[in-house]
Amino acid sequence: METEGQNCRMGSYIYRPKKTKKVFERIRGASVIHILSHTLYFLSLYLSLYLFSDQVRVFPILERVDSAMISDSIPKASISMASSTPKNLPKKKRANRSAKVKQNKLVARRGQFISQVKNKIGCKDEANGEGGLHGGASVHPENERGQAMEKLEINPRGEEEIYGDGSPMNHYSDSESSPLNSPTSHTSSVLGSNGSGVQFTASSRSGSSSGRSSSSSSNGCCSEIMSEDDEEDDCLDDWEALADALAATEKKEEVHNPESEFDSPPEKHGIGSQSSGVVINPEIGGMAVKRDPELCRAWSPDDAFRPQSLPNLSKQYSFPLISERQLSRGGPVWGCKNVGGTVPTSCPICCEDLDCTDSSFLPCLCGFRLCLFCHKRILEQDARCPGCRKQYDRDDSIEKEATLDGGSLTIRLARSCSMITRS
């Protein structure tokens, strides 16, 4: 489960930044209050766990879902403790914190998404089912992990709680905890760029956790959302490049998800290295988790969430189509749309470009094409086709006279048109 959440985050996040936004919106409206309550609770749990438990212990606990169950009792008592601890943390750790917090947020969001999607997707059901089975217990393992990680981690988890609903929360926490606990978790520091906004939220939450004021927590959520949006924008630029690499990893992750947590952390490392500059990815990944089942395939052209920045194949095809249309337009004017032979782009006599009228003008059966100006000039002289030296039709000679007289010019032109259609 945990690995799944992590893996999914990375890949899915990159692919669908827009969806993540929507998810956030949903989360805001529906479960803000619920999330807030959860966050406060979880924050307290994390703090308590962190204080009491050694990091060494935490790692094995994280690895095992069952171990998580144990930690459940601890958090409630330690709520006050937790609030104090995060404040004490040194600034150096902030970067890591923010990254972790972000990861946690992503995980939580992802979990929410998953829960929403559960009914629709069978694959997700499995992951969710685990989370559901654990119920509150599963939450605890998250807490344990967070404690093990750092005090800062507590805040992010709180965020997770906020976003997550019950079972999905568990998934998030697992995925978060695994990266954090594992040595690879340091790679998450890459996320530090996002950190500023996240940290702020975290601090606000910590304060809120102590005071349990819903307003503060809500503010934290908003700030988080904002930071996420910014990140998403950044991701849009990079996501295309990462998409290919991530696609493979995502598939693997999905396969491994039900398996042990161990698989997930290494995957995260790989992903983190790939994303490098793209700190945003992990958060997005969390968002994308619900998408994962769908993500196996690349963007479909008709996908509503498909980024507009993606090259549109249909556009490429449009060019030849347009050119064909233009040619067809020229044809009807003269009624000789499909005259045989290739149409030169320029008049072989004067080297001027042939317009639609000229290109559809076929004065001689031999197929030699020329512009109307050169044709008229030749008619005024020997009236022989440059291509075959044959005299142009008598109609042409008559037309010449007509032009000289300036009288029945239009009628003559009509005749020439009929001739063309014959050819």
Contacting residues toward another protein, per CB under 8 A: 346, 348-352, 368, 374, 377-378, 380-382, 384, 386-387, 389, 404
Which has the closest alpha carbon to 357: 409, 422, 397, 416? Answer: 416
Distance CA 15, CA 79 (A): 38
Cβ proximity to another protein, 26 vs 384, nearer residue = 384
> Looking at beta carbons, which pairs linking 367-370 to residues 24 or more positions away fall under 8 Å?
367/339, 367/340, 367/341, 369/341, 369/343, 369/344
Contact in structure between 24 and 228 (CB atoms under 8 Å):
yes
Output the smallest distance, CB 187 to another protein, in A. Answer: 58
Output the smallest distance, CB 192 to another protein, in A. Answer: 59
Read off the tokens for 176: 């978060």
Output the smallest distance, CB 343 to another protein, in A. Answer: 16
Cβ proximity to another protein, 338 vs 342, nearer residue = 342
Cβ proximity to another protein, 93 vs 384, nearer residue = 384
Helix (H, G, I), strand (E, B) or coil at 276: coil
Read off the tokens for 280: 């945003």
Output the smallest distance, CB 326 to another protein, in A. Answer: 24
Helix 17-52 × helix 79-88 angle, to 10°: 100
Cβ proximity to another protein, 321 vs 350, nearer residue = 350
Output the smallest distance, CB 363 to another protein, in A. Answer: 13
Cβ proximity to another protein, 237 vs 355, nearer residue = 355
Cβ proximity to another protein, 28 vs 376, nearer residue = 376
Q: What one-character DSSP code corresponds to residue 213?
A: -
Q: What is the DSSP string of 345-375?
A: SB-TTT-PBP-HHHHT---STT-----HHHH
Q: What is the DSSP string of 58-105?
A: HHHHHH-HHHHHHTTHHHHHTHHHHHHHHHHS-THHHHHHHHHHHHHH
**Sign of dihedral through CA atoms 44, 45, 46, 47?**
positive
Residue whose entry in the numeric block shows the structure tokens 């233009």: 326
Q: Could you tell me how far CA 179 lies from the centroid of its own chain?
A: 23
Cβ proximity to another protein, 294 vs 399, nearer residue = 399
Output the smallest distance, CB 313 to another protein, in A. Answer: 35
Cβ proximity to another protein, 100 vs 369, nearer residue = 369
Output the smallest distance, CB 371 to another protein, in A. Answer: 10
Residue whose entry in the numeric block shows the structure tokens 């910590």: 206
Output the smallest distance, CB 368 to another protein, in A. Answer: 7
Helix (H, G, I), strand (E, B) or coil at 182: coil
